[in-house]
A and B are shown apart, each in its own frame.
Chain A
Amino acid sequence: MSNAEMPDGDLLVILRHGPHGTSWLREGLDAALVGAAFGRRVALLFMGEGVLALLDGQGAGALGQKGTSPTLEMLEMYDIETLYVEGPAMARYGIAQQDLLLAPVALEDTVIAELVERHALILTF
């Protein structure tokens, strides 16, 4: 993706954890949903282990907790359509675009600084 195509936004939420192991992913997504519900332009970047959040075929947790993939399916309803994934992290976990739930734009590491630059508030989870 060239820099010109990257839209500006209010809030960038960087998600660096996979589902189920901790609450970071869920609490990060909650921050994104709330930001969008308040009318802010929100983008998500799935970075590092966070790419596993996007994997299809996720299930419920040990006690039936619903996990985060149902939340991901709600993103569009909240008008969160600006989704990025760290390309090198996909390679690291051996994940291809067709394995993913949504259709995020893959970014090279060199472009992440530019993405950060285009947002007024960045929250890392």
Chain B
Amino acid sequence: MKLHIVNRAPDAGRAVEQALSAMAAEDRLLLIEDGVQGALPSLVDEFASIEGRLYALHEDLEARGLMNRHDERVEVVDVEGFVTLTEQAERTLSWY
């Protein structure tokens, strides 16, 4: 299992599409920085193919005022949870 990390907003470039196209069936995806915009209910459908494997970083949601605006299908983790995700994944790939 690999962890894919996306720090770009869905509207900025193709990082989201590229990450999704490189994901295997068990892989997980973590949204950080501007990537957390993808957790908004109106944008989260882009990640429909990986439901249950989508995470967003608490600190970056909170800093942007998005903490209570994210979709409930996104699992929110803090930075310690980010470390845990990297422990559980054999490798990480970053898409920026």
**A112, B14: Cβ atoms closer than 8 Å:** no
Q: Contacting A48 at CB < 8 Å: which of B18, B23, B96?
A: B18
In the bound complex, how far is the Cα of B96 from the Cα of A120, in angstroms? Answer: 20
**A109, B21: Cβ atoms closer than 8 Å:** yes
Tier of interface size on chain A: 10 to 19
A-B CB contacts (within 8 Å), total count: 30
Q: Contacting B96 at CB < 8 Å: which of A47, A109, A124?
A: A124
CB of B27 closer than 8 Å to a CB of A: yes
**B95, A124: Cβ atoms closer than 8 Å:** yes
**B93, A124: Cβ atoms closer than 8 Å:** yes
CB of A20 closer than 8 Å to a CB of B: no
**B22, A48: Cβ atoms closer than 8 Å:** no
Of chain A, the residue at the smallest CB distance from B25 is A113
B-chain residues with CB within 8 Å of residue A86 when the two chains form the complex: 21
Min CB distance, A45 to chain B, in Å?
A: 9
Known contacts: A122-B91, A122-B93, A124-B94. The answer to whether A113 contacts B23 by CB under 8 A is: yes
Chain A to chain B contacts (Cβ below 8 Å), 28 pairs: A16-B14, A16-B18, A47-B18, A48-B14, A48-B18, A49-B14, A109-B21, A112-B21, A112-B22, A113-B21, A113-B22, A113-B23, A113-B24, A113-B27, A114-B24, A116-B2, A116-B22, A116-B24, A116-B93, A117-B24, A120-B91, A121-B91, A122-B91, A122-B93, A124-B93, A124-B94, A124-B95, A124-B96
User: Which residues of A are at the interface with B, using a C-beta cutoff of 8 A?
Assistant: 14, 16, 47-49, 86, 109, 112-114, 116-117, 120-122, 124
